[in-house]
Structure 1
Amino acid sequence: MTTVVPELEAVLEWVERSPDAPAVMFQGETASYQELWDRAGVVATNVRELGATTAGVHLERSIDLVVAVIGLLRAECTAVPLDVAYPVDRLRFICADAGVRLVVGHETAVDRLGGFTPVRRTGTIVYALDESVPVEAAEPDLAYVVYTSGSTGRPKGVRYAHRNLANLIAWQRDASSCAAGDRTLQFAPSSFDIIYQEVLSTLGEGGTVVCCTEDERLDPQELWDLIEAERVNRIFVPFVMIQSLALFADEVTPRTHPLREILTAGEQVQASDRIRTLFTRLPDCRLVNQWGTTETHVATSYELPADVSTWEDLPSIGSPIWETRVLVCDEDGRPVADGETGELWVAGTAVGPGYVRLPERTAQSYVPDPQRPDEPAYRTGDLGRVRPDGLLEFLGRQDTQVKVRGFRIELGEIETILNSDPAVAQAVVSVSGVAAEERYLRAYVVPKERSDDELPTALLASLRERLPAYMVPVGIDLVASLPRTASGKIDRLALGSAG
């Protein structure tokens, strides 16, 4: 057998066992396992011949996107997802920060990116180089770098290794009820690490990846229609999408919608009556609540019971995945007793190598494991406790990093941009809304000129040029001053309730 990175070994086994089985489907087009592997091999060959150790992935939703994901893994070239929906300035920052010399993309997307010259083409995939970027030595074992919102106003590149990814995918295949012939929706944006979980666990099981359009992804009724038409068995979606799907589930039955697993991560699961009704309509489908951060991907998982009447309103985040431990620690990094609240630290194989070009931030967040000092642990900033039944309970964030509609957002990045405007004296961003589907961002600005009524419109326009749409507040309120706590800090809770 050909030698491949560990997370692709099971995929290659299915290529050799069932080469003609459908691997990926999109809008009537199907690629078999052999075709997918061959097309990914072409990508790997081109990437190697062009000398790339790090490559941007700038593709629209398509079979090409799955081909590129597999191809870069085969080339052992670090992938840097470049979401086609992101503003150009953000994409250029990511490319510069990650040292992206080669971009694998669709022509229109690459042209918009600028600075990269197409040098090869295979089918609809273009290979474009930026000759001004120096060739850097490959970082051993590095699978991909995903950029998250940054608390200092600078997006952070999170590195994730092949060994981390291989452990997660092997665990996911073992934990899932899906198997050969089952179909999984490719829902996650290319900029999310979840795409690796969707694609590699499915192909490693002998299943089929079903790609969706952006319209289908955003419209719950269209998504239900796709699930029915393509006989989808598993989806990985943010909890807010589950809530949206539940609103349009009146006609859903096991016969028409053969879902067996709905996996969610990124937000607190709330088992409302509507959610319970959805899973009552689909008695063979299980809801799986996963927890983790981009730095650790999935760290824990909890499959809710078949009997929805036993569900807690706020279900547990469960137990650690294979080769992973979660510690509940006090401010000094000492594990606390079960039942006590503390910060959740992740240790073991789930912990990645750290951030790109941010050694101080890496040292702050990736610290010695208090139980095994020679190994790293990641301080998540999430609060939690161990319940009497031994399962973990998530209790919110320590800092200003928040989750809104499935996206992890550092409020500081948005605030940094607002506060850099010469017309702004001070700005803060808060989250309003209680239920997941109601949460939204709102900014509060103290202007330098009290009569500047056009400032909110101008600031929103500036934010839209520099940030992804999910990070742009729904509105900006001009205020004379910002509320403070007794210690003099900005009272974010007061802002949120005011919004």
Structure 2
Amino acid sequence: MSTASTAGETMHDLRHATGTPPVLRAVADRVRAAPAAEAVTFGGRSMTYGELWAASGDVAGRLAALGANAGTRIGLCLDRSAELVVVLVGVLRAGGVAVPLDPAYPVERLRYMCADAGADIVAGHPGPLRRLGGFDPVAAEGPLVYARRAGDGDEPRRTPDAPDDDLAYIAYTSGSTGVPKGVMFRHESLANLISWQIGASGCGPGDRTLQFSPAAFDVIYQEVLTTLGEGGVVVCCAEDERQDPQLLWDLIARERINRLFVPFAMLRSLALFAHDVTPESHPLREIYSTGEQMQCGDRLRAMFRRLPGCRLANQWGTTETHVATNHWLPADVAAWPALPSIGEPISRTRVLVCGEDGRPVPAGRTGELWIAGAGVGPGFVNRPDRTARDFVPDPLDPAGRAYRTGDLGRVGPDGELECLGRGDGQVKVRGFRVELGEIEILLCSMPSVAEAVVALAGADPQEQRLLAFVVTTAVPFDRDEALAALRDRLPEHMVPSRVEVVRELPRTASGKLDRLAVGRPARTQDEETRT
């Protein structure tokens, strides 16, 4: 293979495949093949593949000059921008372990993540970096600033959690102890995911993918590295465009977006504002949704009828393993089930349905979903007890490991996997097992309801009841009519005892519905009216 340089390279040569991280080899091939092709765009300014490779090489070189090497933990703290893509690629090229940080997080959380991960070097924009505290700026280049932890010497610390030269990034997720826990993800696992995603997608050179995910969430790697490995264009967006479904539709039209990776909550919001979308004005071809149970209600079906050339995929996984399964919904929208399956495992991945004894159960029986194969990483940062509990020997291959997701599931009659949620998606009411998603779909099918969530209330099993919280549309909402409509379609034990109108549903930082906070919505509209 030729190792000839491309135009525009500076501090780092375009290395032979043995010197480029596996997950970036497809990107390096694109740089060689079409250095002048558009790679990243933001705010009307674009960057070519040659320019991206040169800029990310500059980042890698600067980090190396600061003492970073294979396994150095490097914080990334940038606003949404093209530079975010450049630094993400640059840290991978430097061999460092990225610790992505969301500037919108509270200061205390950001500082905890840096300390827990052992990040001694950070790169980012000046404003976000100042919020980290305890880091001294040591270099600047254009809009980027590099800083080292105050008081550190020239050599960054090494940490013993895992073989550092095999780690690609550390992603933080909510922890049951009240502080976030860091998940270590390996290069091998990331390369496997990106290789599979490129093969599974119908997008290719020149196709445009929106960079929607927050920087601190693992989906950003799926968006960016898949797109660059295909020779496509990463389209960055502003935070207000990301949060507002109407502005997002405007961006999709203006930037000619072909592919989205979005949580189901945003997909449902997009469906609310999809009245005027057409294949000509909104050239979407693929939408991948993950993070929570997909519900195929009337509005979602109507949106895809307006976009007949766009396919919908339901993906399932965890931060600990990233994407584990994929299910393409049929092209015929009429054939969509209300609650789609999560499909089949991606390449080099297995999903087991295990009983309480840790052994796989027969098809059709419910058990805990365990993930095994290439996506299973070393575990959690500084949490050996939690790692030992959740990362266990693979029951079908004792030499390997499996991750216990805590999700319940089963293998359906068609051989595909079904995820039944975690106690908050399926509950028991007066001895009856209830799928909350079924009630939510019916509520969302009402013209006056934009969004809905149903929760189980009450500590005493004899007094537990279902509560529904809805966000309304411009159409007048009548509680009694809504409950009467549910009684016409559902058995009595599935009809909520009360429906509350709220201004908005609680969300996590990634945009997913925060079911743990559903029982304490901010304030109902009725309460605001009374005050």
TM-score > 0.5 by shorter chain: yes
Higher relative contact order (CA 8 A, sep 6+): 1
Alignment partner of 1:353 is 2:378: yes
Aligned-pair identity (%): 59
SS at match of 1:117: strand
In the other structure, the counterpart of 1:455 is: none
* Aligned residue type for 2:194: I
- Selected match of 2:31 from 15, 18, 37: 15
In the other structure, the counterpart of 1:306 is: 331
- Selected match of 2:346 from 289, 304, 321: 321
In the other structure, the counterpart of 1:234 is: 259
Taking a change above 3 Å as real, the CA distance of residues 187 and 443 of structure 1, as seen in their structure-2 partners, is: farther
- How far residue 438 of structure 1 moved from its aligned partner, in angstroms, is 3.2
- How far residue 401 of structure 1 moved from its aligned partner, in angstroms, is 13
Alignment partner of 1:173 is 2:198: yes
Alignment partner of 1:144 is 2:169: yes
- How far residue 473 of structure 1 moved from its aligned partner, in angstroms, is 4.7
* Aligned residue type for 2:452: E
In the other structure, the counterpart of 2:148 is: 129
In the other structure, the counterpart of 1:453 is: none
Alignment partner of 1:268 is 2:293: yes
For the 8 Å contact 1:381–1:399, the answer to whether it is kept is no
- How far residue 469 of structure 1 moved from its aligned partner, in angstroms, is 9.8
In the other structure, the counterpart of 1:372 is: 397
Taking a change above 3 Å as real, the CA distance of residues 162 and 263 of structure 1, as seen in their structure-2 partners, is: same
For the 8 Å contact 2:440–2:454, the answer to whether it is kept is no
**Hey, what's the Cα distance between the residues in 1 that align with 2:413 and 2:145?**
55
Taking a change above 3 Å as real, the CA distance of residues 469 and 34 of structure 1, as seen in their structure-2 partners, is: closer
**Hey, what's the Cα distance between the residues in 1 that align with 2:405 and 2:424?**
10
Alignment partner of 1:391 is 2:416: yes
In the other structure, the counterpart of 2:119 is: 100
SS at match of 2:296: coil
- How far residue 353 of structure 1 moved from its aligned partner, in angstroms, is 1.4
**Hey, what's the Cα distance between the residues in 1 that align with 2:61 and 2:271?**
45
Taking a change above 3 Å as real, the CA distance of residues 442 and 125 of structure 1, as seen in their structure-2 partners, is: farther
The answer for unaligned runs of 5 or more in structure 1 is: 403-430, 446-466, 478-499
**Hey, what's the Cα distance between the residues in 2 that align with 1:144 and 1:186?**
18
In the other structure, the counterpart of 1:194 is: 219
**Hey, what's the Cα distance between the residues in 1 that align with 2:391 and 2:400?**
10
Alignment partner of 1:64 is 2:67: no
Of residues 105-114 and 329-338 in structure 1, the stretch that sits farther from structure 2 once superposed is 105-114
* Aligned residue type for 1:438: A
- How far residue 398 of structure 1 moved from its aligned partner, in angstroms, is 5.1
- Selected match of 1:31 from 47, 50, 70: 47
- How far residue 254 of structure 1 moved from its aligned partner, in angstroms, is 0.3
For the 8 Å contact 1:381–1:398, the answer to whether it is kept is no
In the other structure, the counterpart of 1:495 is: none
**Hey, what's the Cα distance between the residues in 2 that align with 1:473 and 1:204?**
38
SS at match of 1:146: strand
In the other structure, the counterpart of 2:452 is: 438
Taking a change above 3 Å as real, the CA distance of residues 23 and 389 of structure 1, as seen in their structure-2 partners, is: same
* Aligned residue type for 1:170: S
In the other structure, the counterpart of 2:64 is: 48
For the 8 Å contact 1:185–1:232, the answer to whether it is kept is yes
Taking a change above 3 Å as real, the CA distance of residues 209 and 473 of structure 1, as seen in their structure-2 partners, is: same
- How far residue 302 of structure 1 moved from its aligned partner, in angstroms, is 0.3
Taking only aligned residues, the RMSD between alpha carbons, in angstroms, comes to 2.4
SS at match of 1:151: coil
SS at match of 2:90: helix
In the other structure, the counterpart of 1:406 is: none
* Aligned residue type for 2:226: S
The answer for unaligned runs of 5 or more in structure 2 is: 4-14, 428-436, 445-450, 460-507, 522-531
**Hey, what's the Cα distance between the residues in 1 that align with 2:151 and 2:198?**
42
In the other structure, the counterpart of 1:491 is: none
Taking a change above 3 Å as real, the CA distance of residues 475 and 303 of structure 1, as seen in their structure-2 partners, is: closer
- How far residue 286 of structure 1 moved from its aligned partner, in angstroms, is 0.3
**Hey, what's the Cα distance between the residues in 2 that align with 1:334 and 1:443?**
33
TM-score, structure 1 normalization: 0.82
For the 8 Å contact 1:328–1:344, the answer to whether it is kept is yes
- How far residue 112 of structure 1 moved from its aligned partner, in angstroms, is 2.0
TM-score, structure 2 normalization: 0.77
* Aligned residue type for 2:145: V
SS at match of 1:373: strand
- How far residue 117 of structure 1 moved from its aligned partner, in angstroms, is 1.1
Give the length in aligned residue pairs. 427
**Hey, what's the Cα distance between the residues in 1 that align with 2:456 and 2:140?**
44
**Hey, what's the Cα distance between the residues in 1 that align with 2:102 and 2:271?**
28
In the other structure, the counterpart of 1:203 is: 228
Taking a change above 3 Å as real, the CA distance of residues 443 and 378 of structure 1, as seen in their structure-2 partners, is: same
- How far residue 132 of structure 1 moved from its aligned partner, in angstroms, is 3.8
**Which one has the largest radius of gyration?**
2
**Hey, what's the Cα distance between the residues in 1 that align with 2:224 and 2:329?**
23
* Aligned residue type for 1:76: G
SS at match of 1:113: coil
In the other structure, the counterpart of 1:287 is: 312
- How far residue 236 of structure 1 moved from its aligned partner, in angstroms, is 0.2
Taking a change above 3 Å as real, the CA distance of residues 474 and 295 of structure 1, as seen in their structure-2 partners, is: closer
**Hey, what's the Cα distance between the residues in 2 that align with 1:399 and 1:150?**
17
In the other structure, the counterpart of 1:382 is: 407
* Aligned residue type for 2:91: L
* Aligned residue type for 2:117: A
For the 8 Å contact 1:81–1:145, the answer to whether it is kept is yes
